[in-house]
Structure 1
Amino acid sequence: MAGHDEPPTEPTVVDADETTDTDDENDETESNTDTFSRKYVERLRRENAGYRERANRADELARRLHTALIQATGRLADPTDLPFDAAHLDDSDALETAIDELLTAKPHLASRRPFGDVGQGNRGGASEPPVNLADMLRARA
């Protein structure tokens, strides 16, 4: 750098003897490491596999509970529209708030409730007797 009177530093030279010493030490530590028997390692793997299966089952059950809680509110047509959140399982207010926010953003996801008279349409006059197919067949015979 211009204006500095410091001499440039030279790279340090490492003796070849020092590097071979450290290599020997590394080999020595690797050979002294503890190893576990195959039987012990397999037992640990089986145990961990069991824990993973239990955790996966717990996650699956939590998702099913989340879907059931949403379905119980009856506010969404499809309960899977609301993404899973573990906080909804413990706090019903958080679940209600999340459903409100979802319905505000996407009102078309709300469940549809039929209203009015299901039997709408022409029902015939009140003075007309109901249709009797047996009488119609007898009249033509």
Structure 2
Amino acid sequence: MEESGQVDQSEDDAETFPREYVEKLRQENGKYRQRAQRADELAHRLHRALVVADGRLHDPTDLDFDEAHLDDGDALTEAVADLLARKPHLAARRVTGDVGQGATSGKADVNLLGLLGGR
């Protein structure tokens, strides 16, 4: 019976790795996880930039991230169109016409007497 206990212990020793090797593998794995996380961040930034370039949404974060949008421009266009069909209030708003601010083409004469008399 003692021999079987020793055999089990020697089998366990055969399956373990040196501490330095395990630490090296963990560090290497950590580097790969950091790279993958950085790649995910860059993919999200690219997706946001593509939605901004499309110009139809007010807020680019309204469209959920999808990796297919990065490879296929038509898929992104269809996704934006579908989102706007379901939620038109997310569309970008553009001011057009004269809103009374900014540079004007003509020089307006100000008549203070006319302004006071109009009251």
CA separation in 2, counterparts of 1:30 and 1:109? 66
Q: What per-residue deviation string (whole Å, max 9, x for no partner) do you get for residues 67-98 of structure 1? A: 00000111000000000000000000000000
Of 55, 67, 76, the residue aligned with 1:74 is 55
Larger Rg: 1
CA RMSD of aligned residues (A): 2.4
* TM-score between both structures, scaled by the size of structure 1: 0.66
1:55 to partner: Cα distance: 0.1
Of 46, 52, 64, the residue aligned with 2:27 is 46
Measured at CA, do residues 108 and 30 of structure 1 come closer, stay the same or move farther in structure 2, by a change above 3 Å? farther
Of 84, 96, 109, the residue aligned with 1:115 is 96
Higher helix share goes to which structure?
Answer: 2
1:30 to partner: Cα distance: 5.1
CA separation in 2, counterparts of 1:50 and 1:90? 26
Paired residue type of 1:34: E
Q: List runs of 5+ in structure 1 lacking aligned partners.
A: 1-19, 121-125, 132-141
Q: List runs of 5+ in structure 2 lacking aligned partners.
A: 102-106, 112-119
Alignment of 1:1-141 (within 5 A): 24=4, 28-29=7-8, 31-32=10-11, 33-119=14-100, 129-130=109-110
**Taking CA–CA contacts closer than 8 Å with sequence separation of 6 or more, which of the two structures ends up with the larger relative contact order?**
2
Identity across the alignment (%): 59
* TM-score between both structures, scaled by the size of structure 2: 0.77
